[in-house]
Amino acid sequence: MSDKVSCVYENPVLREALGDILRPGGLALTDEALASCKLLPAARVLDVGCGSGLTVAHLRSHHGLAAMGIDTSAQLLASGRSREPALPLALAQGERLPIGDGALDAVLAECSLSLMADVDAALAEFRRVLKPGGRLVLADLYTRAPDGHSQPRERQPVSCLRGALSKAEITAKLAEQGFDLAIWQDRSDTLKVLAARLILAGVSPAQFWGGTCGDGVNAIASLKPGYYWLIASRGAGD
């Protein structure tokens, strides 16, 4: 995750106005996706890009899961620990998970895969730490551009939209890394709700998604961003 992207989520003004969950759909969308996973009580779950750990706490208290979280922002992790010292949070990157092979029942990555410098390496790590048949839950932005492909990163705005891929690219990468796609849900409607919340907080949605790029509005328009959640399972291969 770049420093410019990190500072969006660390921004105290945004966090005060919108809370610590700055993603479309919030916890309600997390619950929606988890309902399709049918995880057993005490299942081991990792939240990649957990921020201050609110989702981790929710998974533990409301779903009875043995959830833990990692993030690259020491500031956000410290905020979470100050609120709930016993919460299992760690400073780590999605491309290099500090977890043993086949240790987890599920990996959750909401608005974090698109921030990672190496998506393929991250997906390979997610598969490595999952048990055979373990679930991968992704929720993120994707591009619905007419040509069906994302733009080169240097042409995309500096934000989590920078790493947005098309549906075809996402599903292809999952297959390449040994995942079987089970469910894809388009929830682009949640982007309008988040945009309204940003406007009420005095923040331009284009500024939020487009960072400091001067052509942020045009870049966002050309990408035609949407939002999805999906569930995939680790295949039976090596």
CATH at 179: 3.40.50.150
Model pLDDT, residue 22: 72
> How high is the pLDDT of residue 197?
79
Question: d(Cα 179, Cα 123) in Å, to the nearest integer?
Answer: 9
| Residue 148: per-residue pLDDT | 52
State how many domains the chain has: 1
| Residue 33 resides in a domain | yes
Q: Three-class SS of residue 113?
A: helix
Averaged pLDDT for residues 25-36:
94
Residue 66 is assigned to a structural domain of this protein: yes
Give dist(CA 19, CA 237) in Å, integer.
Answer: 41
Share of the chain above pLDDT 70, in %: 76
The whole domain housing 42 covers: 3-233
Could you read off the pLDDT of 138-176 as tens digits, one per residue? 999 998 876 655 555 444 444 567 688 999 999 999 999
Flag whether the pTM goes above 0.95: no
Digit-coded pLDDT (tens) for 177-205: 999 999 999 999 998 888 887 777 777 77
Report if residue 238 sits inside a domain.
Answer: no
Closest by CA position to 143, among listed 170, 115, 183, 108: 170
pLDDT of 218 higher than 90: no
Q: Tell how strand 130-143 and strand 165-166 pair up.
A: parallel
Can you tell me the distance from the alpha carbon of 112 to that of 115, in angstroms, rounded to the nearest whole number?
5
The more confident residue out of 210 and 99 is: 99
Q: What is the mean pLDDT of residues 38-66?
A: 96
